[in-house]
Structure 1
Amino acid sequence: MNRPQPRELIVIKKSFVTTNMLRITLGGKNIHTLPANQESGYVKLIFPSENQKPIVRTYTIRHQRADEIDIDFVLHEDSGPASSWAKQAQPNDSILVGGPGPKKLIEEAADWHIFVGDMTALPAISVNLATLPQNSKGYAILEVISESDIQPLKHPNGIELQWIINPHPGEKANLLLEQVKALPWMEGQVSVWAACEFSSMKMLRAFFKQDAKVEKEYLYLSSYWKLGSNEDQHKEVKRIDLEEMEQ
């Protein structure tokens, strides 16, 4: 299948969602080359780089309207190329955008649900929570940098939101796992959606697969980043990890 060609989009506006999350709204004449209904899917943001191939970073489509999409950026002290660009972006700036890639949605055909993620996963989790049937039940364990990063999220009343504060993302790799282990386990089939830093993901994976014995079709697990690594380095770590899992 042919991949869609990257298209140039234009910065429409920017706004802070919370203290450490910045939203960039993109649009322009090429926005209609993005298919409709792609919220929680990902796009590739392509940044020019001197004397080497372009820098590519992966981000989730948080909102999609007829002529705009919103991309949320987590702001770190040691900003990478994407968050640095977002901080400096001004209306009418342009950026090359590839994709979209597949939407990442939880398996709804379960008795209850668990979402687990840090701020990099919050856009995708937010879309999932907003699209679940209103009678859904379960938990969402959400790690944020500060109390001021807690944001109102549309979600079924039966999904309990639990916010964890971690001022140093990527450290305390067992933080999310310990919160999951403390959950009262509900009756019936659980479906799990979890995405976070690489080391945290591996701990969650071991628990959900080995201890909780969640079946593959009800389990989505991904690492969105790795402490101390850029996206290219993280991609290689993920490749090696997958090979080891298959041995």
Structure 2
Amino acid sequence: MPDPVSLARGRQLHPLHVRHAVVREVTPLGGRMRRVTLRLGPETPPVPWVRLAVGDHVKVAFPHPTTGELTLPTVVDDRPHLPEGVERPVARDYTVRAVDDGPDGQDLALDFVVHGSGPASTWARDASPGNTVGLLGPRGSMTEPSGAARYLCLGDETAIPALGRWLEEAPATAPLEVVVQVPGPESVIDLPARDGATVTWLVGTGESDLADHLHGLDPPPGPGDYVWAAGEARAMVAVRRAAREHGIGADGESALHVDGYWRRGVAGRDHHAPLED
């Protein structure tokens, strides 16, 4: 059985940079998912890529919806700064899905769920080559543990980019079980293939679906397993409760990481905010 200490996450800090990026390509992935590949020029500091930091994210700042102007802060004492009276741009956090470093700069892939009429969804729906956005961060990387006996990774559509990274980056020495909840069968998309991994799709919108699936695993979650989950906040509370009922993460953060990316009915929820029971 792995040493429980090995199931703690690691942390690596990065200096803050504010970057301009230009849309190079837009690729439909199926369902409501769309990949936007951004080009950062060679003069721009590259976005760091850390293996097993599956939740690494950048804050994407969008042009003003009416004027089309993109106003970005400067960095002062490693903090973003805007002059007094300047309106802050609308920004949302997105997982760094992939990076490709080349002589002409870095390509950065971000996957969007296109739904409704929110600022990020509307921008992603209409994005085309040549459009410009701003990028802030990442401020740090949290690396997932490499010594688990089994990895149990659960999420909804918003977690698909991170789940894709799990399938590509998880240690080959342990089984990986990925569970994805989507609202309808049309949202089932291709994910990276991996030996020793299983991918289960749950179709529906129930808040307890992912937690119920975790309860029903055979064998159930146990010592040495690592549970990672991300998605709608209330559903994540249920997943966290289910994991702890099986003894996963009962001692705190070790062996369990649950992230509420969004909350139904709340615009722009800060996923760094604690999950509310």
Query: TM-score, normalization: structure 2?
Result: 0.76
Alignment partner, residue 102 of structure 1: 140
Query: Deviations along 1:52-81, whole A, 9 cap, x unmatched?
Result: 4221100011111012011000011x2311
Aligned partners of 1:31 and 1:15: how far apart in 2?
26
Aligned partners of 2:29 and 2:141: how far apart in 1?
22
Alignment partner, residue 227 of structure 1: 264
Query: Deviations along 1:35-55, whole A, 9 cap, x unmatched?
Result: 442573100011244784221
Query: 1:17-96 residue pairs with structure 2 within 5 A?
Result: 17-29=29-41, 32-38=44-50, 40=54, 41-49=56-64, 52-66=87-101, 67-76=106-115, 78-96=116-134
Match 1:117 to one of 146, 152, 155:
155
Alignment partner, residue 224 of structure 2: 189
Query: 1:128-143 residue pairs with structure 2 within 5 A?
Result: 128-143=166-181
Report the 3-state secondary structure (helix = DSSP H, G, I; strand = E; otherwise coil) of the residue aligned with 1:22: strand
Letter in 2 for 1:34: P
Shift of 1:237: 9.6
Aligned partners of 1:202 and 1:162: how far apart in 2?
20
- Residues 1:127 and 1:163: Cα distance change in structure 2 (over 3 Å): same
Letter in 2 for 1:73: F
Identity among equivalent positions (%) equals 24
Aligned partners of 1:236 and 1:156: how far apart in 2?
29
Report the 3-state secondary structure (helix = DSSP H, G, I; strand = E; otherwise coil) of the residue aligned with 2:173: coil
Q: Does 1:10 align with 2:25?
A: no
In structure 1, list runs of 5 or more residues that go unmatched: none
Aligned partners of 1:69 and 1:237: how far apart in 2?
23
Query: TM-score, normalization: structure 1?
Result: 0.85
- Residues 1:237 and 1:111: Cα distance change in structure 2 (over 3 Å): closer
Aligned partners of 1:106 and 1:48: how far apart in 2?
33
Aligned partners of 1:60 and 1:236: how far apart in 2?
12
- Residues 1:225 and 1:65: Cα distance change in structure 2 (over 3 Å): same
- Checking the alignment, whether the CA contact within 8 Å between 2:23 and 2:130 is kept in structure 1 is yes
Q: Which has the higher helix share?
A: 1
Q: Does 1:213 align with 2:252?
A: no
- Residues 1:31 and 1:208: Cα distance change in structure 2 (over 3 Å): farther
In structure 2, list runs of 5 or more residues that go unmatched: 1-12, 67-85
Alignment partner, residue 212 of structure 2: 178
Aligned partners of 2:198 and 2:14: how far apart in 1?
41
- Residues 1:17 and 1:31: Cα distance change in structure 2 (over 3 Å): farther
Q: CA RMSD in A?
A: 2.5
Aligned partners of 1:139 and 1:123: how far apart in 2?
15
Q: Does 1:147 align with 2:185?
A: yes
Aligned residue pairs total 234
Q: Which has the higher contact order (CA 8 A, sep 6+)?
A: 2
Letter in 2 for 1:149: S
- Residues 1:88 and 1:31: Cα distance change in structure 2 (over 3 Å): farther
- Checking the alignment, whether the CA contact within 8 Å between 1:20 and 1:75 is kept in structure 2 is yes
Letter in 2 for 1:129: L
Question: Larger C-alpha radius of gyration, 1 or 2?
Answer: 2
Query: Deviations along 1:115-171, whole A, 9 cap, x unmatched?
Result: 0000101101111221122232141111123323323333543222111112xxxx4
- Checking the alignment, whether the CA contact within 8 Å between 1:117 and 1:143 is kept in structure 2 is yes
Q: Does 1:238 align with 2:273?
A: yes
Superposed structure 1 runs of 4+ greater than 6 Å apart: none
Shift of 1:236: 8.9
- Residues 1:208 and 1:98: Cα distance change in structure 2 (over 3 Å): same
Report the 3-state secondary structure (helix = DSSP H, G, I; strand = E; otherwise coil) of the residue aligned with 2:212: helix
